[in-house]
């Protein structure tokens, strides 16, 4: 309880959130001049906005070959799927790990593996519920191919959701990146897909909660088969 209270009072907020927080705060002040109840509701909304844009530090495992989650959230599906077009990859299915973020999750996205940004493709689209499988193909998205030293690539895709209307990314093609680094965010509920290299098995299971930059979802050097899990 004490640790939770300490964290709540020491929230690190991402700079992209401050314009929204300031807007919420200004509206709250205006509402407060009209009604104490409305003002209180505005303050609650402002507090939620601060919470939404929180950007905590993370401890990323640094062994080469580990692929970490790019997002906080729950693994909604693990399926074989073809990566988005335009990334220079073969038109063949790869294992896709989808992590669904609700409005209470941290929405800062992190690089899943050390490497170089080989290609970025943004595509406008719909704003379907991000938990639906067809959101991977129909929704607005931003796909990033990260080339791995020694060969191979990992693809991470930011997908807008039913409420989310804005994908933000601040990395460019040719940039060197490290696992766990912040590279973007999606506002207000969304999903992130990671396409694993051919032959690499996921080390997470549907229903499992992931922490961006910390949870290992695959290991390039691993020999373990795809994991199975059950609620206990």
Q: Which residues form the catalytic set? A: 190
Beta-bridged to residue 53, according to DSSP, are none
What is the helix (H) or strand (E) element at residue 110, kind and residue range?
strand 108-110
Pair of tokens at residue 128: 């379907």
Neighbour count for residue 228 (Cβ, 10 Å) = 6
**190-195 vs 94-101, strand pairing mode:** antiparallel
* Cβ partners under 8 Å of residue 111, min gap 6: 70, 146, 156, 171, 177, 178, 179, 180, 181, 182, 183
Where b means 16+ CB within 10 Å and e means fewer, 84-94 reads beebebeeeeb
d(CA 108, CA 118): 21
């Amino acid at each position: 309880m004490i640790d939770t209270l300490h964290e709540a009072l020491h929230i690190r907020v991402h700079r992209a959130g401050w314009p929204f927080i300031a807007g919420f705060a200004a509206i709250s002040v205006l509402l407060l001049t009209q009604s104490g109840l409305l003002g209180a509701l505005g303050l609650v909304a402002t507090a939620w906005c601060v919470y939404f844009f929180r950007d905590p530090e993370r401890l990323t495992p640094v062994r080469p070959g580990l692929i970490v989650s790019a997002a906080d959230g729950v693994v909604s599906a693990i399926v074989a799927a073809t990566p988005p077009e335009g990334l220079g990859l073969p038109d063949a299915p790869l294992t896709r790990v989808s992590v669904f973020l609700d409005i209470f999750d941290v929405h800062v996205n992190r690089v899943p593996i050390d490497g170089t940004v080989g290609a970025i493709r943004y595509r406008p689209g719909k704003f379907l519920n991000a938990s639906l499988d067809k959101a991977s193909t129909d929704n607005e998205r931003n796909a990033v191919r990260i080339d791995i030293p020694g060969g191979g690539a990992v693809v991470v895709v930011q997908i807008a959701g039913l409420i989310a209307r804005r994908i933000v990314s601040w990395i460019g093609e040719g940039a060197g990146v490290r696992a766990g680094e912040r590279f973007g965010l999606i506002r207000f509920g969304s999903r992130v897909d990671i396409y694993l290299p051919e032959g690499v098995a996921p080390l997470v299971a549907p229903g499992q909660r992931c922490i961006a930059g910390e949870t290992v979802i695959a290991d390039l050097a691993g020999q373990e088969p795809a994991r199975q899990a059950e609620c206990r």
